[in-house]
Amino acid sequence: MPIIKSAIKRAKQTVTRRNKNIGIKKSIKSAEKAFAAKPSKDTLTKVQSEYDQAWKKGLLKKNTVARRKAKAYATAKSAKVKLAK
């Protein structure tokens, strides 16, 4: 365990950030599973929203989010999901 006051604070912040990041990742995975089980306009929107949120919070990089969203969109297109223009 850290002894220095700033190191103690840093350890607490690390735990808090880790828990927040794990929560965001779980919500992304659950949205992906829902989309994979039943591709629809609503589930696609949810997946894209989760990705955007992860990018905004700094959890995923911009190009990673773009690649994953494109893959989800392609899956929806191949599943013949009606999408708004």
pTM comes to 0.86
| Tens of pLDDT, residues 16-39 | 999 999 999 999 999 999 999 999
CA 38 – CA 63 distance, rounded (Å) = 26
CB atoms within 10 A of CB 45: 14
Kindly list the structural domains of the chain, giving each domain's residue range(s) and its CATH number in brackets, ordered by start.
5-78 (1.20.58.110)
**Residue 15 host element (H or E):** helix 5-37
Tokens at residue 45, please? 């929107």
What's the pLDDT band for 1 if we cut at 50, 70, 90? confident
